[in-house]
Amino acid sequence: MPLHLLGIRHHGPGSAKAVLSALEANPPDCLLVEAPADAEQLLSIADYADPQSAIRNPQSAIPPVAMLIYDPKDLARASYLPFAEFSPEWQAIAFAKQRGIPVRFMDLPMELYFALDEAEKQNPQAALELLEKMTSEERQFRADPMGHLARLAGYTDSERWWEAMFESAGNGAEIFQAISKMMAALREGTEESARTLQREAYMRQTIRQAQKDGFQNLAVVCGAWHVPALEGIEKQKASADAALLKGIKKIKTTATWIPWSYDRLTFSSGYGAGIISPAWYDLIFTEGKHAATHWMVRVAMLLRNEDLDASSAHVIEAIRLAETLATMRGLALPGIDELREAVVTTICEGDAEKLQLIENKLVTGQKVGSVPDNIPVVPLQRDIEQWVKTTRLTKYWESPDEEWLGATAAAPQGGVDLREESGRMKSQLLHRLHLLDIPWGRLMELNRHQSAGGFKEFWKMKWSPDFAIRIIEKGAWGNTVEEACTRFLKKKTEETTTLPALTMLVKQTLNADLPAVFDLLLRKLENLAALATDVYHLMEALPPLAQIVRYGNTRGTDVLAVEQVVQHLVPRICIGLPAAVPNLDEDASREAHERLMGVHRALGLLNDPAFFSPWYDAIAAIADNQRVNGILTGACTRILFDKKIRSEADTADRMSYALSPATPPLEAAQWLEGFLQGSGLLLLHNTSLWNLLDAWVDGLSFEPTFRETLPVLRRTFSRFPAPERERMLGLAKQGQVMERVAEVVDYEEDRAGRVVPLVKRLLTGAEI
């Protein structure tokens, strides 16, 4: 019985063309494809429509898509079988389906694969025995046998070699005989792993079964490496294959279709055979020998859309250069490396940064497939899809492009207004999905006025195919998003034992608007806060709680219980902090400084006068403690000065003491760093403090103190904005700066009275 073995590379456009040529020349009466046998059921619930068609058939799968096979009892066991339009298996299946030719999957089912994985985990030593017998050269060969041939041919990697030899060369059906001989030579004398032998035994069993079923002309589409094991099948004993597969326990699996994307196709996963240039391979498949020309034209169009220069002359020169490079390297057609070099040299005029844009769009690509509407899904996914439609987020669903939610030409960063019902619904959905570890949207804090605590939220949206398995996994927690989040959060609440982690959970729950679990969280928060003894944990917990108290009403949430927790936390922080910071090294002091400033900002947000006195007393105690690192004492001195608790004269005295010759230069520089803490405006507008600093730097001896102090000073001043540094440089050139005495101008009450009503109206909205 004729058996036509078509050895291919997964996701190879040249292989796909050659497979179609072979099938058209000799149509089989049954097609066997290397794919897990327990995914074969999916062939009956999806049509293979033309992806270029403008009409979307709801029963069609449009590549890139993937078959997902998983263990419903343990979703950590999952495998993806991705297909692109240029995948040889996809083209072969489409060819067979369109002509009514039966298709069978012939690889080891995942129900056996998962069982073998589990057995290896139980006995890991058995899996290592073969590797231990190999030399390092043998291991390298087994990891990438094609790489061995590529190196012999003078190529640096196997993908580049395979592309030059098989993908771009326009080979016909005759190439499969050459591939078979090449693989046989590579496999000669090698010892295969037990898993490979079991897979190939199952493939042979499937071929024998097809022959028993009466098929006379079989075509087999499989990875090139397996071809030698399937040749001469009549000479290999069926009993030996059965013995290899005997006794393997089965783990029940479920299979479904999911959308895939070109950027995800670059990963090596399951049958992924990760490729680095899906968009380029797509072009090779659709345009053949004219792919390089079409690619260059698309580069020019892409750059023009970004308002970058790309003329017709650039394109012509780039094509000529790419073809010349290909000729010099002995290639039939330019490959992606030749195209990149030509583009950088001509169109990009040597600017390699422009290449990144081209890489994303025209090498990797941003294409996403779609799956049939009749695919069975878990109830949670149906609810999520309904939410997506209700909130009008459909354009971002399953899109691999990273986009700002609601972006417009006038507002490129978009934004969600929480004062509007539609905005709150969008926010709730994205926060709830984030809680379920499905980060479809990333919340971006642009600045203090455009943060999650205000009336607007800013999100970046990007879909990942991995979310499909996460939705299935979280579907065990409930049939709706709200139900799954509530149950999942209750479990996380029980497991959380640290105050900062629980505080963040409270904030996430508030943002997700899940009142059913909010009370439970607050009760545990009160208990943990009452028992917590680590002042750092208390300090870390306060900022998110302060945001909840300050902005809770934005979402219409009752935050009285959170306020009660805050009332307990603040006094304990004020009492415990001064005793927690003495005798810390520099790194620990920086960590303490970060938490201290977080509490300070949180108290400013709360704006409760009852907190100010104990907090500033604690700050003063730290500022006056000589056993505390200068980073902290300097920062506390600055806080007291800014809040006018200590006068300018008193602050100048403390600065003079901190920068006196008796203070080691490194300690002085640390105090200065803490005092300035990111803003140089204080020095620019306070002449006395500037003169103190100028005199201290001027008095440093070059060796060794100035050399030791310079890195700290550089670190401190490098954080200031460029205009501030320029003004400081001008002041430094002047030496000591004379204080300016402001001219006293008499207050003209009549003239001021004319503008006071208008100013009052502008500031308060009151009527004149």
- For 498-512, the pLDDT digits (tens) are 888 888 888 888 888
pLDDT band at 596 (very low <50, low <70, confident <90, very high): very high
Average pLDDT of span 89-98: 92
**Which is more confident, 95 or 556?**
95
Report residue 319: phi and psi, to 5°. Answer: -65, -45
Residue 449, pLDDT score: 43
User: What pLDDT, on the 0 to 100 scale, is given for residue 502?
Assistant: 85
Q: Is the pLDDT of residue 319 over 60?
A: yes
The 10s digit of each residue's pLDDT in 153-178 is 777 667 777 777 776 666 778 888 88
Tens of pLDDT along 672-690? 888 877 667 777 777 777 7
Q: What is the rounded average pLDDT of the residues 692-698?
A: 74
Q: What is the pLDDT of residue 555?
A: 53
Distance CA 304, CA 309 (A): 6
**Residue 219: its pLDDT value, please?**
95
Say what the pLDDT of residue 133 is: 65
Among 245-254, 453-462, 604-613, whose mean pLDDT is lowest? 453-462
Per-residue model confidence as pLDDT tens digits over 515-573: 888 778 878 887 887 777 788 888 888 888 888 787 664 555 567 777 888 888 899 99
Reduced to 3 states (helix: H, G, I; strand: E, B; else coil), residue 275 is coil
Residue-wise pLDDT for 394-424, tens only, equals 999 888 788 999 998 888 889 898 888 899 8
Question: What average pLDDT does the segment 91-105 reach?
Answer: 93
Pick the most confident of 42-51, 70-79, 279-288, 714-723. Answer: 279-288
| pLDDT confidence band for 743 (50 / 70 / 90) | low
- List Cα–Cα distances, 484 to 72, 292, 479, 489, in angstroms: 17, 50, 7, 8
Q: Do the beta carbons of residue 253 and residue 38 sit within 8 Å?
A: yes
Place of tokens 């990009």: 348
pLDDT at 544: 82
DSSP notation for 656-711: HHHTSTTS-HHHHHHHHHHHHTT--HHHHH-HHHHHHHHHHHHT--IIIIIHHHHH
Residue 735 scores a pLDDT above 90: no
For the chain, give the longest Cα–Cα distance. 114
Ordered by start, the domain boundaries in the chain are 3-265, 279-364, 379-477, 510-734
For residue 665, count other CB atoms closer than 10 A to its CB: 21
Lowest mean pLDDT among 62-66, 291-295, 573-577, 725-729: 725-729
More confidently predicted of 129 and 71: 71
Mean pLDDT (whole number) for 378-399 = 90
Confidence at residue 251, expressed as pLDDT on a 0 to 100 scale: 92
Over residues 238-249, mean pLDDT: 91
The whole-number average pLDDT for the span 757-767 is 72
Query: What mean pLDDT, rounded, does the chain reach?
Result: 83
Residue 361 has a pLDDT of: 78
* Percentage with pLDDT > 70 across the chain: 88
How far apart (Å, rounded) are the C-alpha atoms in residues 442 and 432? 12
Distant-in-sequence, close-in-space partners of 558: CB < 8 Å, separation ≥ 6: 552
Q: What is the pLDDT of residue 738?
A: 63
Banded model confidence at residue 661, pLDDT cuts 50, 70, 90: confident
pLDDT tens-digit readout, 559-574: 777 788 888 889 999 9
The residue with greater pLDDT, 167 or 235, is 235
Q: Note the pLDDT of residue 452.
A: 42
* Burial (Cβ within 10 Å: 0-12, 13-18, ≥19) of residue 131: exposed
Which pLDDT band, with edges at 50, 70 and 90, does 440 fall under?
very high
Q: Which of 61-70, 86-95, 210-219 has the lowest mean pLDDT?
A: 61-70
pLDDT at residue 274, as a whole number: 60
Q: Taking 50 as the threshold, does the pLDDT of residue 450 lie above it?
A: no
Q: What is the pLDDT of residue 53?
A: 52
Residue 451 has pLDDT above 50, yes or no: no
Pairing of strands 254-259, 416-417: unpaired
Do residues 537 and 528 make contact, with C-beta atoms less than 8 angstroms apart?
no
Which residue from 508, 371, 386 is spatially nearest to 436, judged by alpha carbons? 508
Rounded to two decimals, what is the model's pTM? 0.65
What distance in Å separates the CA atoms of residue 693 and residue 673, rounded to the nearest whole number? 12
User: 357-366: per-residue pLDDT in tens?
Assistant: 787 777 877 7
Can you give the pLDDT at residue 270? Answer: 46
> 420: helix, coil or strand?
coil
Whether 615 has a pLDDT exceeding 90, the answer reads yes
Q: Give residue 750's pLDDT.
A: 79
pLDDT at position 57 is: 64
pLDDT at 518: 77
pLDDT band per the 50, 70, 90 thresholds, residue 495: confident
Whether pLDDT at 323 is above 60: yes
